[in-house]
Every structure is written in C-alpha cells, then in structure tokens.
Amino acid sequence: YFFKKVITKQDVLGFAELTGDFNPLHVNIDFGKKSVFKKNIVHGMFVGSLFSRLVGMHCPGEKSLYISQTFNFKLPVFIGDILLIRGTVSNKNDSIRMITLKTEIMRDNKIVIDGEAKVRVME
C-alpha cells in the first residue's frame, strides 16, 4: 500500500510545537540558508511519523498495534516535497498475528527514509 503527502510549513511548525523541537535547522530561515542544505530541513522524526498513518490506517490498518519501527535516514526532506509513503509485507506469522513491513518514504524515486515495522493484527 502507499499514499502521498505534500510537506507544508504548517506541518513543520505544528510538529515543532507538538514536540518542542525548535532546532533552527528546521524553523529559522536565516539559519537554514547558512546550513549545508541552503534551506530548512524537515524534522526526520516528523517524516518518519508518516509510517504511523501507513500502519494505523492502511497496512494493515485499523485494529493493528505497532510493535516496533526502525528508521534509516538517507536524504533530507524540504518544505514543498511530495513524498510517497509505502509499506510492503515482507513476513507474516499467523500464529501470533504479526506482520513485518518493509517501510519506505520516497521523493522523486529516491528513498529518504526506510526501515522495518513489526505490527500485531488485533482482529
């Protein structure tokens, strides 16, 4: 399963407000311009949190319980990026109602974050 998400400035500011992470690399335009990236980057954990929507709403969806998630941060994400969030079942254990997902977030066919999720299917 997959879905797309356009990253907005409101997303970044909302995540900063929610977590208290106001690192200037994410929220200060002048600081971002002076960084190696030449602009602000999006919080990696915000981008990674999109896996929660993937698991909780789509794959396997409602009535699932997140057990674990790994993250490999590969490329920065910027405001305005269009991301593709994808999950692919790589293993299934019916006896304990557990699935393993290969998780990926991509921009322009390049992986920005990948990892693995373990999810228990409750019903």
Is-contact 103 115, C-beta < 8 A? yes
SS3 category, 75: coil
Per-residue model confidence as pLDDT tens digits over 87-119: 999 999 999 999 999 999 999 999 999 999 999
pTM of the model: 0.91
Q: How far apart are CA 26 and CA 45, in angstroms?
A: 12
Per-residue model confidence as pLDDT tens digits over 34-81: 999 999 999 999 999 999 999 999 988 889 999 999 999 999 999 999
Tokens at 104, concatenated: 């990926």
87 bridge partner residues: 103
- pLDDT given for residue 87 in this prediction: 96
- pLDDT given for residue 15 in this prediction: 98
User: Does the pLDDT at position 123 exceed 80?
Assistant: no
Per-residue model confidence as pLDDT tens digits over 3-14: 999 999 999 999
